[in-house]
Each structure stands twice: as C-alpha cells, then as structure tokens.
Amino acid sequence: MEAVEKYSDDSIRSLSWDEHIRLRPGMYIGKLGDGTSQDDGIYVLIKEIIDNSIDEFLMGNGRGIEIRIKEKKVSIRDYGRGMPLGKVIDCVAKMNTGGKYDSKVFQKSVGLNGVGTKAVNALSSYFRVESFREGKCKKAEFECGKIIQDHPIVASDEQAGTLITFIPDAEMFGNYNFYLDYIEKMVQNYCYLNKGLSINFNGKKFVSKNGLYDLLDNNINNETIYPIVHLGEADFEFAFTHSAKNYGEEYYSFVNGQHTTQGGTHQQTFREAFIKTIRDFYKKDFEPSDIRNSIVAAISIRIQEPVFESQTKTKLGSNTMEPNGKGASIRTYIGDIVGRTLDNYLHMNPEVAESLNRKILESEKERKEIAGIKKLAKESARKANLNNSKLRDCRVHFDSNHERRLETTLFITEGDSASGSITKSRDVNTQAIFSLKGKPLNSYGKSKRTVYENEEFNLLQTALNIEDGLDGLRYNNVVIATDADVDGMHIRLLLLTFFLQFFPDLVKTGHVYILQTPLFRIRNKEKTIYCYSEEERLDAMAQLGNRPEITRFKGLGEISPSEFVNFIGKNIRLEPVILKKETSIKQILEYYMGKNTPERQAFVCDYLRDVVD
C-alpha cells in the first residue's frame, strides 16, 4: 500500500494572481490549443483585449481600432480614453481591478470581472501596455505576468487611447500559429455588432453599415427562399432567412457584442418566440422543427452586467435585462419585440409570408414521409450502440466541466487496422472512434431520407447527436482520419459531402477537421524524425545524414500504437475545414460530386500538366 502524503501546514499554498492563471488557464480562457480551432486560447487572448476597446467605443470614446499580427506578435491600439495613468499597472496586473465595477463608467459592457487583460498578461511571454492620456504616456512591460520594466510617465503627443502588445507564451500554448481567417471573422463580427466602428486588421479595413443584415449576407453561401429579414428595436435586434437546401438550424448570437457560440437564454428565447409568432400568424399549430428547419439567424442583445456560464463568455446565463434580477425578464423582452415586429413584417410583406409558408409545409411533408424510417433507424442505432459495433466512445461528453467539453474529439476512420491503431493510442477520457466500413455513399443531391436509410450515416448522425441541431453535439472536434492516398482522399470528400449536404452548420461553426499524419519516418541510431511532406523528408535526411532508414507509411494501420500516440496527443496536427463567403456549397458539391465529368476531367488534366511542367 502506497504511503499517503501528510496533510499539514506545509500542504497549503498561496498562489500569486499570475501563478493561478498559469496553473489553471482553462478557468480563464477555456482550452489552450495551438490555434487550429477557432475557440483555442490564443484567440481568447486577442478577444479579451479587443473587448476592452469595444467597451470604450460603446461609451462614445474612439471610433477606430487597429490590430496588427506579425508572426506571433499581437498589437491592438484603440483611441478611447486611455487607462488612468496612475492605475495602468494595477489594470493589467492586479486581479479584480478595473473600471467596469462602476456601471456609470462602463454600461452594458462585456468585461465585468477585472480578469481579461490580466489573463493575457500572465499567459504571454512578453506583454506591454501603453496608455496615452491628457498629453502623457505611461508604459510598463511584463514577462509571464512579472513586471520587468516600469517606465516613468512622460509627455506624449499621441492621440488618447491604449496600445497593448503581447506574444502568447509558447510554454503554455506549444508550437502555436494564428489562423488569420479566424481573426478576420472575429473582427467582422465586432463590426456587425457595432455600427460606426472601424477596425483595421493588418492593413485591411472592416466596417458595417447594416449590422446583422451584413453578417448574414456575408456568411450565407447557399440560395435562400426569401430576402434576409432584419428587425428589432432598442436593445435587441435580429435578422433571419431560410436556406433553400440546407437542413438544421444555424445561429449567430451575441450579448453586448460578445459572440456567444454556446447560445444561452437569449438564443433559446428567440427560438421559442419565433415559433409562437409564426404559429399565431398562420393560425396553425406547426411543429417547431418544421418552422425552424434550415433557418439561418443572427441575434444581438445588450443588457447590464450580463452573467455568463464561464469566464470565456460563450453562453449567457442571465434571465433579466438588469443585474440582481431587476428589469424586464429576457424572455418577456425578446418575446414582445419578436412578436410585434415579425408579425408586422409578415403582414406587410405577403410574398415573404407565402415563401416561408411553403418552406414550412415542405419540411412538414418530408418529416412525415420519413417518420417511419426514422423510427426504425433510431432503433437500429440504439442496438448498434449497445453492441458497440461502430462507436468506441469516450468518457467525457457535455458535462459541467467546460474545459473538458471543449477537448472532446471524434475520429472518423476507415478500416479495422486504422481504427485499431487509434483506439489503442487515444485518450479514452476525451477521444472517441467511429469506424467506417468501406467508402460512404455519395450523398450529393440526396434528401434527408438518405441519412436514415443508410446505416453508416444514421449511426454517425446518432453518435454526434446532431439530428435536431448542434445544441446536443457530443464532440467539439469532428476529425476525419483517413489514409493519405487516393482512396483516403475520396473518403474524405464523401464525408465532407455528407456534412455539407445535411449538416452544413457543423462545418460553418468550425467543428470539422482533417487529421494530418506523417508520410515518412526518417531515423538513425540517435534520432527519429516524422515528416508530413516531401520537403520535411528532405530536411530530415539532411539533418540525420549517413544514409538514415526511411519508412514510407502507406496507411494509418501501418503506424504502431506506440507511435500513433505522438500524432493524436499534444502535438496533433489538424487542418480545419473552413468555408468562406465566396465558397458556394451548392457549386462546390455540384462540381466535385455531381455529374459534370468533362469539367472535372479538364481540371485534372490541367492540374497534372502544371505538375509535370
């Protein structure tokens, strides 16, 4: 029996503010990550600083923000009031310190706990704050939260405001990289939610004249059945439409300009209010799923001192418009605005009302047609899960631990050998395996009926728990893990077709990735290097010299479990599947998966000719 450590006075530790943040970063920024996922911590650091600048803008101070990212160095400059010069160091290095405890100074802001900037400071290998105010400048520099240079206040002709410069600490985040697409999307959202705000990101200017209308217009990459509807008043606005071909629901929800990716009180209330208004307008007791099927909506609410369910502020927990349970309930407030404005709009725009009615009836018809099949498919999925024939599950799903939920991953593999290698190498707490048998069906152009009639699609849908939308998504990361050969590429394409055809919001919200695995192993007696490209192979051979042993991995099954653990653990390489505005789902699926064989043939021939040349 192992000896138990003595619990004594010596067991008690008192951590400084920066030590606590570095020891428990998940409490402050969610998961760490290497930048592959849009909810990785390095993006939360950027967001925390921008939030402060946005709060200045909301109080009428400064209409522009400048953001520069070069390699791993981030600089954010606003033109607000600037931090009070005598409190600059306290504002960035003393917990529970800030101006937002005074609601008269900052109204309807996002940051309320005096934590955000301190977390950025503690988790950065280098952090510099400069406050310009009243013709003077105060500057201080830090390393991992420890002050290294306290500069005296000096005269300055700089415009009032704050400049924060930081480099996320590689000791905390590993070999991270910024995906600029993620940051550009974040910047655009700030502009959509704050009319009149201008953000310059790496020399590119972003501004929005029409708020949430622009957000949907720039994010919808499929046909819609009627023009975007943009309504609202006072502290709540919303925009929506229904896509012509998509399934499910897609929401962009915000609180005080903060993107609440997990939704919350306001999003759930909007969904309920939308259903009630539509039912009342048409005087029909439609099924909620038929009304919301293929809806794309954006909602924004501003409230005083919002309560979020975590420090990363991704889900609203408030029930009232004011703190301490005061003011109107959010349910009443949103319900009233949606009910009045949407009802008026539909009465004044009968062509939109007719298009929406047809869409609802089409959804109802399709739902009834596949009702019997769904019942049988669910029973089949239940039995299959009991027999564990496809899914090797993990132990952690959507539990109360926000940090662990963000770590959950489902690897979709093909073949017993590949599944076996990953299964033996995985973290059983957070990583699950779904094993395909052969190539999936090409689902392009098929109806939702296909999902239930095809056993593998039905079981995959059940494993992910996405039949009724992403609210119950069981894995934050959905990783396609196939061989890096022609067959593997084909399987990837077929799986992406399935997701884009039936669950496009899963891709749009950044949950789908491609697993990168090494093509070569180069080793000698002293060192082993795994290479993911031909260029890396040549570099490794030059490093090792003396005719090293070269192994070309033909498939995932050839990589032993003892090696595979290196590729799905801390150093996992994932390639995110990103959809941009110019990417039309319909066009891309039709081109690659449709019957336009001559066009694809010409493309392949041209590509091969370029490679040969």
Long-range contacts of 224-233 (CB under 8 A, 24+ apart): 224/296, 225/355, 225/356, 225/358, 225/359, 226/351, 226/352, 226/355, 226/356, 227/352, 229/342, 229/345, 229/352, 231/337, 231/338, 231/341, 231/342, 231/345, 232/300, 232/337, 232/341, 233/337, 233/341
Neighbouring C-beta atoms of residue 43, cutoff 10 Å: 22
Give the pLDDT of residue 306.
83
pLDDT score, position 309 = 74
d(CA 448, CA 598): 28
Residue 351: which pLDDT band, with cuts at 50, 70 and 90? very high
Q: What is the DSSP string of 35-61?
A: SSSTTSHHHHHHHHHHHHHHHHHHTT-
pLDDT of residue 592 exceeding 90: no
Q: Residue 168, SS3? A: strand
Assess whether pLDDT exceeds 80 at residue 113. no
Going by pLDDT thresholds of 50, 70 and 90, the confidence category of residue 101 is: very low
Higher pLDDT, 381 or 166: 166
Cα 201 to its chain centre, rounded Å, is: 20
- For residue 47, the model assigns a pLDDT of 93
In angstroms, the Cα distances linking 210 to 49, 213, 216, 352, 387 are: 25, 6, 10, 20, 53
pLDDT at residue 205 greater than cutoff 90: yes
Q: The tokens of 522 are what?
A: 């180069």
Rounded CA-CA distance 492/321 in Å is 46
Among residues 63, 69, 302, 45, the alpha carbon closest in space to that of 206 is found at: 63
Query: Domain ranges in the chain?
Result: 17-206, 212-366, 371-517+557-582, 520-552
Q: What pLDDT shows up at residue 415?
A: 78
- Segment 178-182 shows an average pLDDT of 93
Report residue 439 CA to chain centroid gap.
29
* Residue 310 predicted with pLDDT over 70: no
Q: How far apart are CA 201 and CA 173, in angstroms?
A: 23
pLDDT score at 86: 92
In this predicted structure, what is the pLDDT of residue 140?
97
Confidence of residue 397 (pLDDT cuts 50, 70, 90): low
State residue 612's pLDDT score. 46
Mean pLDDT along residues 20-46: 88
| pLDDT tens string 262-271 | 888 899 999 9
CA distance 44 to 32: 9
Mean pLDDT along residues 194-201: 93
pLDDT of residue 370: 85
| Phi and psi torsions of 96, nearest 5° | 60, 35
* Mean confidence (pLDDT) of the chain: 86
pLDDT value at 116 more than 60: yes
- Per-residue confidence band for 601, with pLDDT thresholds at 50, 70 and 90: low
- The predicted pLDDT at position 110 comes to 52
pLDDT band at 115 (very low <50, low <70, confident <90, very high): confident
Smallest CA-to-CA distance from 230 within 320, 338, 77, 115 is with: 338
**What is the predicted pLDDT for the residue at 106?**
46
3-state SS class at 89: helix
If you average pLDDT over residues 340-364, what whole number do you get? Answer: 96
Phi-psi region of 543 (alpha: psi -120 to 50; beta: other; left: phi over 0): alpha
Q: Which residues, other chains included, contact 77 with Cβ-Cβ below 8 Å and sequence gap of 6+?
A: 65, 66, 67, 161, 162, 163, 164
Helix (H) or strand (E) holding 277, with range, is helix 265-282
- Is the pLDDT assigned to residue 125 strictly greater than 90? yes
- Of the pLDDT bands very low, low, confident and very high (cuts 50, 70, 90), residue 12 is low
Name the pTM for this structure. Answer: 0.81
Q: Which residues, other chains included, contact 196 with Cβ-Cβ below 8 Å and sequence gap of 6+? A: 63
User: What pLDDT was estimated at residue 529?
Assistant: 92
| Confidence class for position 421, pLDDT limits 50, 70, 90 | confident
Indicate whether 339 pLDDT > 50: yes
- 104 Cβ neighbours under 8 A, 6+ residues apart: none
- Amino acid letter, 469: G
**Residues 6 or more apart whose Cβ sits within 8 Å of residue 239:** 211, 212, 213, 215, 216, 228, 229, 230, 231, 297, 298
Q: Please report the pLDDT score of residue 611 as a whole number.
A: 47
What proportions of the chain, in percent to the nearest 5, are helix, strand and coil? 40, 20, 35
Mean per-residue pLDDT for 453-465?
Answer: 90
Identify the CATH class of 371-517+557-582: alpha beta
Tell me the CATH architecture of domain 17-206: 2-Layer Sandwich (3.30)
Average pLDDT over residues 416-423: 83
Which of 304-313, 456-465, 591-600 is predicted most confidently?
456-465
**Exposed (0-12), middle (13-18) or buried (19+): which is 562, by Cβ within 10 Å?**
exposed
Predicted local confidence at residue 151, as pLDDT: 96
Q: What is the DSSP string of 405-464?
A: HHH-EEEEEESHHHHHHHHHHS-TTTEEEEEE-SPPP--TT--THHHHHSHHHHHHHHHH
With bands split at pLDDT 50, 70 and 90, how would you rate the model's confidence at 1?
Answer: very low
Mean pLDDT computed over 450-458? 88
Label residue 416 by pLDDT band (50, 70, 90).
confident
Q: Under a CB-based contact definition with an 8 Å cutoff, are residues 411 and 422 in contact?
A: yes
Q: What is the pLDDT of residues 509-538, one digit of tens each?
A: 889 999 998 999 999 988 999 999 899 999
3-state secondary structure of 404: helix
Question: Which of 450, 563, 439 is CA-nearest to residue 489?
Answer: 439
Q: Would you tell me how many other CB atoms lie within 10 Å of the CB of residue 213? A: 19
600 HSE (CA, 13 A, CB side): 11
- In this prediction, residue 195 carries a pLDDT of 85
User: Beta-carbon neighbour count of residue 486 at 10 Å?
Assistant: 8
Q: How much of the chain, in percent, has pLDDT values that exceed 70?
A: 87
Q: What DSSP element (H or E) covers 516? A: strand 512-516
Confidence class of residue 549 from pLDDT cuts 50, 70 and 90? very high
Q: Is 127 helix (H, G, I), strand (E, B) or coil?
A: strand
**% of the chain at pLDDT higher than 90:** 49
Q: Which fold has domain 212-366?
A: Ribosomal Protein S5; domain 2 (3.30.230)
Q: Taking CA 559 as the corner, what is the angle to CA 555 and CA 565, rounded to the nearest 5 degrees?
A: 125
Asked whether the predicted pLDDT for residue 3 surpasses 60, the reply is no
* Position with higher pLDDT, 554 vs 458: 458
Bigger pLDDT: 71 or 588? Answer: 71
- Is 485 or 537 the better-scoring residue by pLDDT? 537
Q: Which residue has the higher pLDDT, 595 or 187?
A: 187
Handedness of CA 334, 339, 340, 341 (dihedral sign): positive
Q: Once rounded to an integer, what is the mean pLDDT over residues 231-256? A: 89
